[in-house]
Structure 1
């Protein structure tokens, strides 16, 4: 197998109870620069164990296997990766497309037919990634009504948000905005992995934490109070996970 695969190669899991058929798919994958045969196994039961520990982009999945068929296995996965069926039986084709597989390869599989299916998987993967990026781009900003106009704010520019009854002060890198909104409502809009409620009156962007000392969080040299129970959560969920030395 080639070892100089690009980092963007699709991570593949080959599942087939026939060793020779499994080997043939792995060899085909080795010839395609945008695929990488990360693992292979001889049963759906083994595959269940593998996908519980590792994320795969593409499965090459045989249908007729002992104990658990490829179709039953695929139906048991809540969020399956892309799948290409590899089988000696054509009668399952409609069932495969019901499960939204990428392609259906009949054995014996030629490299030409394999490559056609691989190109379909690559195209679908790129389309899905593009869609995710577009969604992420939209969700990275929001509009607020400030005075008599609507202002677009990138959430990455927000330092912290301060509650004042039914109003909020949004402190950004450049200026401060006052809007008529509740803390609960804006907390739902912002990405939870980047914003953390340190106090009933303060929601901070963890990206801008300068330091944490005692019962104070420093955001660009601005001191903000942190509730005792929230400090423990902040330490465990964010600080300790990025701590270089203890």
Structure 2
């Protein structure tokens, strides 16, 4: 769960932020503030992972506030002005949203925060276990997918299909196979073809260059054979 603080001097903007945050399952709103002083008070009392921060506010601007922080959380700027984008990214903000922000665009920014948060957790705890689920952007929402339910993943031109056990309808997402491969825990999967990733524990049988999963035959390419058999023979 990512703990969020929303900072904006306009009440309607804060209300929209609150509504958007509450619709995203991995975001938790811990406070709403109308200025930087109130935000500092919250941050002294609560752990904050992510700031949704306006820029032009009375007193201390969002830029000045961010520059003043010794230990910066993740930051997503949400502003009515486009002309601060370069300075914002110089401060390593995750994203820069210009009002009015559609929920789909908000969700994309939240997804960036989730990916970075996961990366930092693995970096800080390199021996910790991978989570047993992924959040996949599909049908204008982030859908929670448990890894043990995935049977295989099929790459299309600009999309992937995630096939799930017990589900006739696969999930379609605008991702590459390489991108989804980086999210999967090592030792659980194998790339068996330029267009297919399989979950090792879902394999029913292997015959010649065909991998059987349920009632589906998956091709095993020559370039992937050596690494694939190394994985299934050693269990790594």
| TM-superposition CA deviations, 1:9-35 (whole Å, max 9, x none) | 100000000000011011001100000
Which of these residues, 116, 134, 143, is aligned with residue 126 of structure 2?
A: 134
Q: Is 2:55 aligned against 1:63? A: yes
Distance 1:82 1:46 in 2: 18
Q: How big is each residue's C-alpha offset from its partner over 1:149-175, in whole Å with a ceiling of 9 and x where there is no partner?
A: xxxxxxxxxxxxxxxxxxxxxxxxxxx
Q: Distance in 2 between matches of 1:76 and 1:136?
A: 32
Aligned to 1:78: 70
Larger Rg: 1
Distance, in Å, in 2 between the alignment partners of 1:62 and 1:135 is: 37
Instruction: Give the CA deviation at 1:135.
Output: 7.5
What do residues 43-94 of structure 1 show as CA deviations (whole Å, max 9, x unaligned)? 0111111111111010000000000000000000001100000000000000
The equivalent of 2:29 in structure 1 is: 37
Secondary structure, aligned partner of 1:12: strand
Whole-Å separation in 2 of the counterparts to 1:10 and 1:122: 8
2:125 aligned counterpart, secondary structure: helix
Q: 1:75 to 1:32 in 2, by over 3 A?
A: same
Correspondence 1:75-114 to 2 at 5 A: 75-114=67-106
Structure 2 residue matching 1:80: 3-state secondary structure: coil
Offset, 1:136: 8.5
Equivalent residue number for residue 20 of structure 2: 28
Cα RMSD (Å) = 1.4
Q: 1:19 aligns with which of 11, 16, 20?
A: 11
Instruction: Work out the CA distance in 2 between the residues paired with 1:129 and 1:85.
Output: 23
> SS at 1:28's partner residue?
helix
* Counterpart Cα distance in 1 of 2:69 and 2:102: 29
Structure 2, unaligned runs of 5 or more: 130-236
Gaps of 5+ in 1: 1-8, 138-246
Question: How many residues end up aligned between the 2 structures?
Answer: 129
Tell whether 2:111 aligns with 1:124.
no
Q: Does the 8 Å CA contact 2:53/2:77 hold for their aligned counterparts? A: yes
Aligned partner of 2:202 in structure 1 is: none
Matches of 1:72 and 1:45, distance apart in 2: 12
